[in-house]
Structure 1
Amino acid sequence: MLPRNNGVLAAIGEDCDLLRPHLREVTLKAGQVLCEPGEPVRHVWFPHSGAISKLITFEDGSEIECALIGREGAVGAASVLGLRRAVTRDICHIEARAARLEAPRLIEARDASPRIQEVIEQYLVRKLCLAIRNGACNARHSVEQRLSRWLLTCSDVLESDEIALPQEVFAKMLGVQRTSVNPTLRALQAAGAVALARSRVAIRDRGALKGHACECYEAMRRDQGLSGAPPEAKPTAAARAHPA
């Protein structure tokens, strides 16, 4: 297993040897739920690919995303701060590979390694800043702005211009009705920013899509130390077939 495939493990460096014997490589299926609110936090997941959403759920069954995590991060890392029960529904929307670690093992390694403690704390601070910004964005900005921002963020996480998700998932992530998402996607397609296909969206023109997004996209990248050019996305068949 290559720690460099995950940003947190790569940042830990040589002290990752404390974790390596306990890491288990797993495949996460699309739609697989890793943890439900109120359940004990038993594992920490370090994605090597794919995307995992952390959702706030409400009594009426509705949900909204508060964080999207890819291979730059970790799911369940807050257990090192004493979080024993999950407060979000963690679900893998796109099939992923990940390293799974029993939560107590991370706590033991943190106690033995100042480097592990530093990396995990810095990561959690960045995620807290993103969650605060995400909450403000949901309250302030339009569906078009938030959807454009989410598509760009998801593309960055997946390192691909193609997002293989049905539109009802987009609606759930934003906490809106699908009837709000469909016309917005069609408008973005008409503007040349995206190309739509069955259960997938391909970004055709990142600059155009950024023009429809709110300032939160760039602000969130700055909070993560990613300001500047976005990661180079892999070309997709849809994008090649419909050049901007």
Structure 2
Amino acid sequence: MSHLDQSTSENLLLATVLPEDFARLQPDLNRVDVSRDDVLVQANAPVDYVYFPEGGVVSIVSDTPGKGRTEVGIFGKEGVSATHLLLGASDTPHESFIQVSEATALCIATEKYLAAIQQSDTLRTMLLRFVQALMIQTAQSAATNAHQRVEARLARWLLMCHDRMDGDEIPLTHDFMGMMIAAERSGVTVTLHILEGAGMIRATRGRVRILDRAKLTDLAGEGYGVPEAQYSKLVAPFGKGSGG
């Protein structure tokens, strides 16, 4: 195992915990490569390892029989997988997998992770702050999908993915964008053309390039910004608009 210290990880949660709390985790953390479609949390199954991503986008997905898959949340370098463990549950009906970009993550065996949390109230509190921000994101997604037009929904998700990427280009398939915003593939294609025509993005096969973030933010309206502000308040500045 290569030596890790708090300054060598791009994961914002690990960078923000107290040094003594990082020291509890450090001996058992290992840096691993993660790629698109890698499953970090299987639905309705025990969790062997917990992951702190250092890049990319992780999708949390609900699979409804007969209706397909719907994304209910995302996280990346600001978060940690398997948040249900922090709430006392051993499994979850939702799957989490890498959806966008290859990256690295710091992983730790579940029993070591839970042991460290049991030893430190401050570590548990910091991790639960992320859970709070993620819960707000999930609630915001439900409200947005119920009340906003598809253009605003797509603008919101593109901004959220952009926050978690180092550059302005996001590898996104039409199928994934449809799952993100609960829309048919044909609706995604039309919406991409609308955003592209307005100069907000450039869409090519399997990729979206952000051209005008300010216009996307205006289009997303109140759908974007609430979870990001909550995370910035509870944990650390996050999102390209905050400088995080």
The normalised TM-score by structure 1 is 0.89
Return closer, same or farther for 1:228/1:78 CA change in 2, 3 Å cut-off: closer
Match of 2:95 among 89, 101, 121: 89
In 1, distance between residues paired with 2:106 and 2:46?
19
Structure 1: which amino acid aligns with 2:211?
A: R
Residue identity matched to 1:23:
L
C-alpha contact 1:33 1:92 (8 A) present in aligned 2: yes
Q: Tell me how far apart the structure 2 counterparts of residues 180 and 205 of structure 1 sit (CA, whole Å).
A: 22
SS class of match (2:31): strand
Report the more deviating stretch, 31-40 or 182-191. Answer: 31-40
TM alignment of 1:1-244, pairs within 5 A:
1-3=4-6, 4-14=9-19, 15-60=21-66, 62-93=68-99, 94-225=101-232, 226=237, 230=241
Aligned residues: 233
User: 1:215 is paired with a residue of what secondary structure?
Assistant: helix
Alpha-carbon displacement from aligned partner over 1:90-139 (angstroms, at most 9, x marks no partner): 11012121011112212111111122111112111121122111111122
Residue by residue over 1:121-178, the C-alpha shift from the partner in whole angstroms, topping out at 9 and shown as x without a partner, is: 2111121122111111122211111000000110001132110121221111222110
Q: Which runs of 5+ in 1 are unaligned?
A: 234-244
Aligned amino acid, residue 147 of structure 2: R
User: Aligned partners of 1:183 and 1:129: how far apart in 2?
Assistant: 29
- Residues 9-56 of structure 1: CA distance to partner in whole angstroms, max 9, x if unpaired? 112231211111111111111121222211112221100111111011
Runs of 4 or more consecutive aligned structure 1 residues displaced over 4 Å after TM superposition = 226-229
Residue identity over aligned pairs, in percent, reads 27
- Where does residue 240 of structure 1 map in the other structure? none
The TM-score with structure 2 as length reference comes to 0.89
Measured against aligned partners, the alpha-carbon deviations of 1:173-228 in whole angstroms (never above 9, x if no partner) come to 22211011001001110100001112100011111112221312022322222589
Q: Retained in 2: the 8 A contact 1:38–1:86?
A: yes
- The answer on whether the counterparts of 2:76 and 2:164 sit within 8 Å (CA) in structure 1 is yes
